[in-house]
Amino acid sequence: MPRLPSSYRAPWWLTNGHAQTVLARSLRRIRRRPYQRRRLELDDGDFLDLDELDDGQGRVAIVLHGLESSSDAPYVRGMARALSENGWDIVAMNFRGCSGEPNRRLRSYHSGVTDDLQAVVADVRARRRDQPLLLIGFSLGGNVVLRYLGERGESVRAQGVMAGVGISVPCHLETCAERFAQPGNRFYMKRFLRFLFEKVRHRQEAFPDALDYDAVLASENFHDFDGRFTAPVHGFASAEDYWTRCSAKAVAESIAVPTLLLNAEDDPFLSPPCHLREEADRNEHLHAEITPHGGHVGYVQFGKDGFYQEARVLAFLRDRA
């Protein structure tokens, strides 16, 4: 499928990717409907907390948040509102340990944790057998969605998955880690590590002999953290092995349902390989819209349709109704 042209026009005073990234969160004023929380027990003894808006609309959007975020993030709330007002029930998935309560196992979540998404898809499918499913993920959650769709190819149709969306997706993890290590991203790097370290300390209390926690807590970038925590905890040989085996880029050409990738050229976290231009040219199901501006999960606009990412997803779904 040819790459999609974009109609997004950033406000004239907001054409800087860093400004979009930071201000998008503070500019949002979303009327909140209360989620109904449901706990999904997993086969390994852990759990996922699912936050739902169930109006009996006959189709379900499963929404995944980004790194160290949750279903309460403004971008998740904004998308949930837009979709629920346009005929979709919502299942907002909190990754392990992201719902406000530490998870039970040493393992956590990561960019390629598609087994947990599969558990949610199977659970929703069992309760709503004939209802079509949309998978939509932001940032890390977007990589999980695209990875899931690429790994499973045509088989996702049998589970009712009719489309996928990824927004601000780090589809090539190694070069994104390199971007994060640059001086201009030091603020973000320190912020993410601070949140990740809080979870590591919970594991240190529960599993004191499992890791060299002093080394993990001395990490200064994602190469350190993924090499000292993500890789050994989740069965990878190294940070590089994790990045290679979990990047969505490697399986994007196997995606077999209509899927929208919305990334911005000025996203401070993403590298050029994340935009999947060549993969979209070779895969009729993959629609890549790469905007000049938008930052990371930004896409600020002011209007009745919310931010651009919500309006764009609704238009994408209407075109395939």
The domain locations on the chain are 17-172+247-319, 173-243
296 as an active site residue: the answer is yes
Mean pLDDT score across all residues of the chain = 94
Q: Of 110, 172, 287, 296, which is the active-site residue?
A: 296
Query: Which pTM was predicted?
Result: 0.96
Q: How far is residue 245's CA from residue 250's CA, in Å, rounded to a whole number?
A: 8
Domain 17-172+247-319 = CATH 1.10.10.10: no
pLDDT in tens, 150-185: 999 999 999 999 999 999 999 999 999 999 999 999
DSSP assigned state of 4: B
Active site annotation includes 168: no
Catalytic residue among 139, 168, 219, 247: 139
CA distance 137 to 31: 21
Higher pLDDT, 319 or 163: 163
> Which residue in the list 267, 275, 285, 293 is annotated as catalytic?
267
- Residue 157 DSSP SS3: helix
Task: Please say whether the beta carbons of 113 and 124 come within 8 A.
Answer: no
Distances (CA, A) of 273 to 19, 176, 249: 23, 9, 8
Q: Is 267 a catalytic residue?
A: yes
